[in-house]
Amino acid sequence: MSAGRNSVSPPGSASRRSAWEDGAASERDRGAEPAKTNSNDNHHREHNGSMKGNSRPNSAASAKSCTAGPCGAARTAWKDASVRSRNGDVRHQSVDIGLEERNGKSDKEAREPADTAGGGASSRGTTCMDCLKTVSKVFKSKKFKSEKLERLYQRYFFRLNQSSLSQLVILLVVVCGVLMAFYYGEGRLVPVYGIVLGVLLSLFVILLFMCNRNSFTQKQLCATCYFLLVAIAVIVILAVTAADPRIASEAVWITIFCIYLVYTLLPVRMRVAVLSGSLLAVIHTACAGGINREDEVFLWKQLVANAVVFICANIAGVFTHYPAEVAQRQAFQETRGCIEARLITQKENQQQERLLLSVLPRHVAMEMKADIAVKREDIQFHKIYIQKHENVSILFADIEGFTMLSSQCTAQELVKTLNELFARFDKLAAENHCLRIKILGDCYYCVSGLPEPRPDHAHCCVEMGLDMIDTIAVVREVTGVNVNMRVGIHSGRVHCGVLGLRKWQFDVWSNDVTLANTMEAGGKAGRVHITKATLDYLNGDYEVEPGHGGERNNYLRDHNIETYLIKAQHPRKTPDFGGFFRLTTGSTESVRGNANKKMIDTMNSPLLTPSNRRRESIDRNRSSSVAQLDSWGAEKPFSNIIPNLSKEMKTMGYVDQDGLPRNGQGNINNKQAHILGLGFDTRQEPQSPDDEVNEFLSRAIDARSIDRLRSDHVKKFFLTFRKPELEEKYMMVRDHMFKSYMGCAFTMFLFICFTQLIIIPHSFLMLVVFLGGFILVLSLLFLAVSESIRALPRCVVRLSSMIGESRMKSNLLGILTVLIIWGVAFVTMFSCDLENVQECVARKLNVSSSEMNISWLRSEGLDIGQEELHRNYSATHCRVTQQECHFPEYFTFSVLLGMLSCAVFLQISSIAKLAIMTLMAVVYIVLVEVLAVNLFDNHDLLLQAHHGNVEPLTVGLKVMTPVVIAVFLIALVLHAQQVESTARLDFLWKLQATEEKEEMDNLRTYNKKLLNNILPEHVADHFLKQDRRNEELYHQSCECVSVLFASITNFSEFYQELEGNNEGVECLRLLNEIIADFDEILGEEQFSSLEKIKTIGSTYMAASGLTEKTCDLDSKAHVTALSNFAMRLMDQIQYINEHSFNNFKLRIGLNVGVCVAGVIGARKPQYDIWGNTVNVASRMDSTGVPNRIQVTQDVYKILSAKGYELECRGVIKVKGKGEMLTYFLNKGPADLSPSSGRSRANPS
C-alpha cells in the first residue's frame, strides 16, 4: 500500500497491481434509470446524483496506544533491556534486575537498579576499584527494595526451593549413612557417634516428608534451612572428632561436600551461605588443629592445605550460587514484566476491539482484523468488505431547524449538544434493535435487521422514529428553538460494508437506501414517513394516513412511490432530558413540571394497546419513575472503550487445554498459551498498576506447577526441549556469565596448584604440569575475555566473540578447561613412589611381606610426614628415586575440586556434565584401585605406624576414595539436573517475556496506526492523554480550515442492481478502487497536512489546517496543499477512466474559513467538522460543474496570489447563502509537477 502516514489498509493493498493497469473493468450494462434525489438543508448531503442514502460512512474504530494503559508511565523490566543479538538469541543489555541491598529507605514497587551480574565486560577500561566493587557485589545478599516484591519472589521460587531442600536432605541422609558405614566398618563400639548420627538420620527422614507436603510453608522452609545448617555443623564436628586414627585431613571431603551443598541446594541468601561456608571451614580447622596438635611436624602443612581447599570450595560455591540467584531473580522480574506486558496488551486489545466495534459491526470488524494480520500475495484489486442483506428496514432522520440551533451555540456547546442528542439516539437505537450506520451533520440513519435478521425490523424502525420525535420535542421545549425531526423509512435490500483504505467507515448502499433517504427528504416534520413496502411488514399494528410524498419530492412523484404517515398522539412517553438542563442557564422547574404532566398523559396513551403490548420484541419496559427526569446520562465518546483493566494474563501452565484452571497443575502452549482469568470484583477500589500486576502474579504463583512445566516441555532424562525449534533457540542463547565461569575455573586451578605445592613434595613433573596447565588455562581465559579488550588484533577479538556467542563453542572451551584442571589435579601423582612400603621394608629385613607388621615400620624409623627420611630409605634399600607422598588424599581433594570446577559451568548440559564427571570418577578410581593403590596403602600403614595401631585399617583410603567420589558424583549430577532444568524454565520465561514485549510494541504501533485510521492523529492523541478527564469532550474551534468535497456525479447512473453485477456489488467494488486510489494519494508526504473526514456515498470529503501544526496562517500552505490534492484527484479520475473504459465525472468544491471540529457519539464515536465553511464547501460541490474545481472568493484570493490559474465563473445562486461569486481552479503554479498542473479549462 502506498498510503502513507497512518494508513492501515486491508490486505493486498501493499503490493497490488493497479486495477486500472490492465483495463480490467469493462463497460457495465446501463439499462436501469438512474436514482436521483433532491437536496435538503443537510450540508453534508448536498451532492446531486451521489446515491444519498448509500452514503454516510463513518470513522471506524480500533484501539488505544498502550501509553494509555495504567502502566504507561512505569517502564517494564525489559522496556529497554530486552534485545536480540545479531544471531537472534534472547538476551539483555544488562542484568539490572532490581537486586539491591535492602536499605529500608524506599518501599516503591518497581524495577529498581541492580547489581550487574558479572560476565559482561564493558567496552571501556575498568579500574581496580571497579573490579573490587564488582567482586564485593557478588558477596552481597540480593534483595529487592520492595517488601512486596521480595515476598512475591520468595513465593515464586518456593516450590523450586522446596525441591532443592528435598534433594539436600536426601544427600545428607546418604552422607550420614556413609559415615555410619565407615565408622562401624572399623569395628568401633563407641555408641555416642552412632546415636547422634542415627538421630540426625531420623530427623532428616522426617524433614524429607515434611518438605514434600503441600502444607509446607515459607516460614517452615526458613526454619528448616537454619536447622540444617546446625545439623551440617554437627556432622562436620562428629566426622573430625571421631577420626581414629586421627589426622588433620580427616573429614575434609565432608566439609567440602557440605560447603558446596550450602551454596547450591540450601535456599539461603548469599551472606548466610558465605558465613556458613566460612564457619564450616573454621570449625573443621579448629577441631583438626586441636585434636592433632601433637603432630607438629606436618600439622601446619595440612591445616594450610585444608584452608586453601576450603577457600577454593567456597569460591566455587559463590560462583555457583550467585549466577543461579541472579538468573532466578531475573526470571522472576521477566515473568512479572511478562504479566505486566500481557495486561497492557490485553487492555489494548480490548480497547482496540471496543473502538472498532463501536463503528463497525462485529462480523466486518473481525474479518478486517484477521485480514490485516495476513500478508497476501500480489493481487489486482483491494479486498472489498461488502455483504448483502435482504428484508431490512432503513430509517433516515433529519433535524429540521438545526442550523438555527447551532448558530446559538459556541463550539463547546455545539459539540456537547450533538453528543447529548445523538447519544440519546444511540441508546434508543439499541433499545429498538437498530444498528446506527452514520451521523452526517444533523442527519442520523440506522438499519434494523443487521447484522442478524429480525422479522419485526419494520416495527423496530417505526418505534425508533417515534422515539426520536418524542426526544426532539423535549429538546424543542427545553431550548426554545423550533427544531423537529423528519423521519423516513423504507424496507428492502441493502449492501453493507467498508470502502477505502483510510478512515474506515461502515455504510449501506442500494436503491432501497436511496429511496429511504428520499422518504426523509419528502417527509413532514414531526411525522414518520413510510413506504408501502414498510407498511406491508407492519401487519396493521399502526394507524396510518396517506403521506402524499410525491407532492413534496420529485423523485417520489416521478417513481410513483406510495407513501404513508404513522398516526401517533404525542407525547407517547416522557423521555429523560436532564442532559439538556446542563445546556441552559434558566430555571428548570417549569420544564420538570411539564415533564411530570407528560408522564401522566403517557400512562393513558392509546399507543399502549394490547396489540402494542403483545410486541414484546420492541417493548423497552419504559419506567414511569420521576427519577428518569434527572438526566439522560449521555455517555462521553470513548467512555465505553476504556473499561476496567482486564483480569486476564498469558502465563505458562496455569490452565488446562480447555482454558480451565489446573488447580496447581500448569501447562504452557508457547505463543498461544491459554490465559487464566483472574478477575477482581469491579466494586473494589482501583489498584495501582504495580499492585495489580503483583496481585496477578501472586495468584499465578499459587496456580503454577514447575513439575508440570518440566514434563510438558522438557525431556525427563536428557532435559532437552521436546520442540526442536525451542532447543535451537536455547542453544543460540549467549551465557553472559561465561567469562566469570572461566575466571572461577582459573582461580580454582591456582588453588589446586597451591594445595599440592604445600602438601606434596616438589618434583620436575609437578613443575612441568603446573606450568603447562597454567599456560593453557590462562590462554583459554584470555581467549574468553579478549572480546572486551579492543586493543587486541581484530582476528582475536572476532574469535573470542564467536566463542562467546555460541553456546556450543563456549561449552567446548569450558569442558577443555575442566579437563585440564582435572588432569593437573592428579597427574603429579606419578612423580610419587608407587612401591609398597611393606615390601621395601621386608626386602631390607629379608622377610616375607606376610610376616610384616606395624612395629617393624616403626623400628625402621618410618613415620607419616617424614617424606625426606622415607625417600632416603627407599633410595638406599629399594632403589627408588621418586618422591615419597604421604598424603595422597589431597590428590582426591584436588580431583573433587576439579569436579566442582565442572559444576561451576552452569551452562553446560547435565548430560555433558554427567559424562565428563563420570569419566573423571572412573579414571581416578581405576588409578586409585590399580595403578596407585600402593600409594594409598602406604598412607594407611604409615598412619597406623604413627599412632602405634597394630590392627590394620578396615576402611582405608582405597575403600573410602571410590565412595567419596561416588557421593560427589551423585550430588553434582543432581545439582546439574536441577540447574539445567531451572535454566530451561528461565529460558521459557525469558522467551515468553521477550515475545510479549515485542508483541506489545508491535501492537502499540499497530494500534496507533489503526486508531489514527479512525480519528485524526491529533484527536487520537487527545483521547490517549492519561491525565484527560473522562467527562471531557473533544471540540476545537479552527480559525482557517480548507474543506474539500469531491463527488462522482454520474456514479448513481453507473450503479445498477443486476444479476450480472452481483446485485450491484461489482459497481461498489469499482467505487472501492476509486476511493482507495484517492486514499493512497492522500497518504503522500506532500499532503501530510490533509485529513480525510469521511466518504458520503460517492462523495469524498477532506480538510486541511485542523491543527496548529498543519494550519499555516501566514503562507496558507495547507490551502494550496488541498488545492493540489483536488487537482491530483482530477488527474486520477481521468487515469481511471482511461484504464477502466468508463467516463466518471468528478466535481469538486473548495472553501476556506472558520469551522468547529469535534467527536460526538458515545457508542459509535465519530469525528466531524461543522460550520458555515463546511456548508459552503458542500454547496461549491453541489452547485459545481462536472470535471471542474469550483472555489469560493476566499480561496481565489489565496491561490491567485500563489500563481494558480483560476477562471471566474460568475455569480451563482447558492441555497441558504444567496448569490455568491465563484471561480474555477484550472492550473497550478509553474513549479508544480506536470500531473498537478494540467489545464482543466476545457475538460473532455
Measured from the Cβ of residue 415, the count of other Cβ atoms closer than 10 Å reads 23
Q: How far is CA 849 from CA 43, 877, 944, 1015, in A?
A: 123, 15, 17, 103
* Contact present, 634 and 1160 (Cβ < 8 Å): no
Contact 803, 852 (CB under 8 A): no
- Spatial CA neighbour of 50 closest among 1232, 1203, 1184, 1209: 1184
DSSP class of 576: -
C-alpha cell at 954: 578396615
Cβ neighbours of residue 974 under 8 Å, at least 6 residues apart?
A: 167, 171
The dihedrals phi and psi of 1086, each to the nearest 5 degrees, come to: -65, -15
**Which burial class, exposed, middle or buried, applies to 1028 when counting CB atoms under 10 A from its CB (0-12, 13-18, 19+)?**
middle
Q: Give me the residue label for grid cell 550420614.
A: 176
Length of the chain: 1244
Beta bridge partners of 675: 650
Task: Give the cell for residue 795.
Answer: 582476528
CA dist 229 to 111, 214, 270, 478, Å? Answer: 33, 23, 14, 83
Quote the CA–CA distance of 248 and 286 in Å, as a whole number: 10
Q: Please state, in angstroms and as integers, the Cα–Cα distance from residue 631 to each residue in 575, 576, 578, 637, 1120, following that order.
A: 10, 6, 3, 17, 46
* Alpha carbons 983 and 905: distance in angstroms, whole number: 12
Q: Please give the radius of gyration of the chain, using alpha carbons only, rounded to the nearest integer.
A: 44
Q: Which residue has the cell 478512515?
A: 503
Q: How far apart are CA 383 and CA 378, in angstroms?
A: 12
449-469 burial code (b ≥16 CB/10 A, e <16): bbeeebebbbbbbbbbbbbbb
DSSP SS3 for 1207 = strand
Q: CA distances (Å), 508 to each of 91, 438, 728, 1098, in order?
A: 51, 10, 52, 12
830's grid cell: 606419578
Give the dihedral of Cα atoms 1101, 1103, 1107, 1111; nearest 10 deg.
180
- Phi first, then psi: give them for residue 852, nearest 5 degrees: -70, 145
DSSP H helical ranges for 828-907: 837-845, 854-859, 867-877, 889-904
* Catalytically active residues, by annotation: 398-399, 442
CA 844 to each of CA 858, 870, 935, 1095: distance values in angstroms, whole numbers, following the listed order: 14, 13, 19, 116
Note whether 443 and 56 are within 8 A (CB).
Answer: yes
Burial 1057-1082 (b: 16+ CB within 10 A, else e): beeebebbbbbbbbbbbbbbbbbbbb
Helices and strands, number each (H, E), in the chain: 39, 20
DSSP state of 1101: E
Place of cell 489514527: 1012
Query: Is residue 949 exposed (0-12), middle (13-18) or buried (19+ Cβ within 10 Å)?
Result: middle
